[in-house]
């Protein structure tokens, strides 16, 4: 089993907040599908993405984001890491 990274933990906290505290961060698996399993709807997804931008002080590329990016906390966290790295 892969360990949860600091970024994944922070993403799970934001996700739990957006899901109106239906779940605690510890109840969210890094590999669970945020849409299909946790029921993240379109309005919650927008709120989630905006809060992620604030949490990590990044700008997400909304035009190129898709539901695939919300497959799991782990998948989405990789996108956050990519946004934090300086452009070359």
pLDDT digits (tens, 9 = 90+) for 14-71: 999 999 867 888 889 999 999 999 999 989 999 999 999 999 999 998 888 887 888 9
pLDDT, position 53: 95
Asked if 52 and 80 count as a contact pair (C-beta separation under 8 A), the reply is yes
55 Cβ contact list (under 8 Å, min separation 6):
10, 14
């Amino acid at each position: 089993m892969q360990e949860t990274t600091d970024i994944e933990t922070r993403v799970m906290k934001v996700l739990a907040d957006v899901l109106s505290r239906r779940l605690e961060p510890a109840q969210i698996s890094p590999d669970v599908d945020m849409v299909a399993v946790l029921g993240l709807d379109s309005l919650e997804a927008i709120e989630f993405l905006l809060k992620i931008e604030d949490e990590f002080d990044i700008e997400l590329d909304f035009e190129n984001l898709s539901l695939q990016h919300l497959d799991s906390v782990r998948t989405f966290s990789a996108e956050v890491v990519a946004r934090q790295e300086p452009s070359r």
